[in-house]
Structure 1
Amino acid sequence: MKKIVLFASGNGSNVENIIQYFKDRETVSIVGVFSNNTHAGVIAKAQQHKVPVFTFDKKELNEGFVLKKINALHPDLIVLAGFLLKFPEHIIAEYPNKIINIHPALLPKYGGKGMYGMHVHQAVLENHEKETGITIHYVNEHYDEGEFVFQTSVTIEDCQTPEEIAAKVHELEHNHFPKTIEKILTRNT
C-alpha cells in the first residue's frame, strides 16, 4: 500500500478532494494531514474523514519535529496542497523526488515568494492574461522551481475578477491533482 501525507495551511478543499478520491482504493492510504495553522478549515475536513492531523509552528517545521512525525508515517509521497510556508531543505533532502506541490498558475509565470492564492489570480488579471492554469511540480529548495510533473491551462478571457479566475483554477485543481498523484505513485512502483 502506498502512503500519502498532505500539507495545507487553509481551507483544505484540495486535501478533501484528494482524501475522497483515494477513499475506496485499497492501494493508497492518506496517513496524515499536517497544518501550520491551528484554525485552518483543513483540520475539520481531515478529522471528518478520520485522517490523523498534526499541527505545528514554523519553529517545529524547521527544527526537526515535523520530520520526525513524517518519518514515523513512512510516506511514499508528500503532497503540498495549499501549504504556504517554504518547505525546509532538510525534509526535501530526506525525501528527494517524493514531495510535490500544486501552484495556481502556469509556472514559471507568477511563481516565487508571495505568489499564492488570490495574489496570483490578481496578478494574472492585472496583466490581462488570456489563460492561466495549474502546475504540479516537485519541490526543491526554491519556491516553485522544481521539475514540472503536470501543467494544464484554461481560458480566462471572460473573467472580470480574481475570484472568477480562482473558480476556474480550483476546477482544474480538483479535476487533475488526484489523478496526477495517482500517476506518480504508479510510476514509482
Structure 2
Amino acid sequence: MKRIVIFASGSGTNAENLIKFFHNSDNASVIQVLSNNPHAKVLERAKNLKVSALSFNRIAFSKTDDVLHILKASKPDLIVLAGFLWKFPEHILNAFPNKVINVHPALLPKYGGKGMYGMHVHEAVVANNETETGITIHYVNEHYDEGAIIFQARCEVNSDDSAENVAEKIHKLEMEHFPLVVNKLLNSK
C-alpha cells in the first residue's frame, strides 16, 4: 500500500478530496496531514476522516530536522502539497527526491513565484485580461513553482469573470484532476 502525506495551510478542501479519493483504494492511502497553521481547518477535516493531523512551526520545519523525522517515520511514497504556503526546505527535498509535488492555481510558468497563491493569482489573471488559466501539478524543487511540470488542465477566462469566478473554475479543476494525477504518479513508482 502506497503512503501519502499531505501538507496544507488552510481550509483543506484539496486534502479532504484526496483523503476521500484514496479512502477505499487498494493502492494508496493518505496516512498523515501536516500543517504550518495550528488553526487550519485542514487539521479538523483530517481528524474527522480518521487521518493523523499535526501542526508545526517554522523552526521545526526549516531550522531543525523535527518535520524531517516525522516524515522519515511516516515513510511516504509521495508528499503532496495542497494549498501549502511555505517554501519547502532543501533538507527535506533532498531526503525525498522526486517525491514532493504541488498543485498551483495557474498555468506555470505564468503567475508563479513568491506571493503568488490563491486569490493573488486569480486577481492577477483577471487584471491582465487573460483568456485562459488553469492548474499546474508539478514537482517541488528549491524554488517557488519552478519544478518540472507533471500535468496542466485549462479553463476559459471570460471578460466578465471576477477573481472569485476564476477561483471557482480552478477549484473544479483541482477537485477533478488532482487525485487522478496523484494516483497515476503512485502507479508509476
Would you call these one fold, judging by a TM-score over 0.5?
yes
**Pairing 1:11-160 to 2, within 5 Å after superposition:** 11-62=11-62, 63-157=64-158, 159-160=160-161
Compute the displacement of 1:152 (Å).
1.1
Q: TM-score, normalised by structure 1?
A: 0.98
Other structure's SS at 1:152 match: strand
Other structure's SS at 2:187 match: helix
Residue identity opposite 1:30 in structure 2: V
Deviations 1:95-129 (A, max 9, x none): 01000000000000000000000000000000000
Residue identity opposite 1:163 in structure 2: E
1:10–1:37 contact (8 Å) kept in structure 2: yes
2:3–2:77 contact (8 Å) kept in structure 1: yes
Compute the displacement of 1:54 (Å).
1.3
2:138–2:150 contact (8 Å) kept in structure 1: yes
Other structure's SS at 1:4 match: strand
CA–CA distance in structure 1, aligned partners of residues 180 and 174 of structure 2: 10
Deviations 1:147-184 (A, max 9, x none): 00000100011543111100000000000000000000
2:8–2:34 contact (8 Å) kept in structure 1: yes
Compute the displacement of 1:59 (Å).
0.8
CA–CA distance in structure 1, aligned partners of residues 45 and 29 of structure 2: 16
1:159–1:165 contact (8 Å) kept in structure 2: no
For the pair 1:166 / 2:163, whether they are aligned, the reply is: no
CA–CA distance in structure 1, aligned partners of residues 71 and 96 of structure 2: 10
Stretch deviating more after TM superposition (81-90 or 155-164):
155-164
CA–CA distance in structure 2, aligned partners of residues 39 and 96 of structure 1: 30
Specify the alignment match of 1:5 in structure 2: 5
2:34–2:54 contact (8 Å) kept in structure 1: yes
Q: TM-score, normalised by structure 2?
A: 0.98
Identity of aligned residues (%): 54
CA–CA distance in structure 1, aligned partners of residues 23 and 88 of structure 2: 27
CA–CA distance in structure 1, aligned partners of residues 184 and 132 of structure 2: 25
Other structure's SS at 2:84 match: coil
Instruction: Give the ranges of 4+ consecutive aligned residues of structure 1 lying more than 2 Å apart after TM superposition.
Output: none
CA–CA distance in structure 1, aligned partners of residues 180 and 21 of structure 2: 9
The two structures, once aligned, show a CA RMSD in angstroms of 0.7
CA–CA distance in structure 1, aligned partners of residues 57 and 182 of structure 2: 27
For structure 1, the residue ranges without an aligned partner over 5 or more in a row are none
CA–CA distance in structure 1, aligned partners of residues 26 and 187 of structure 2: 13
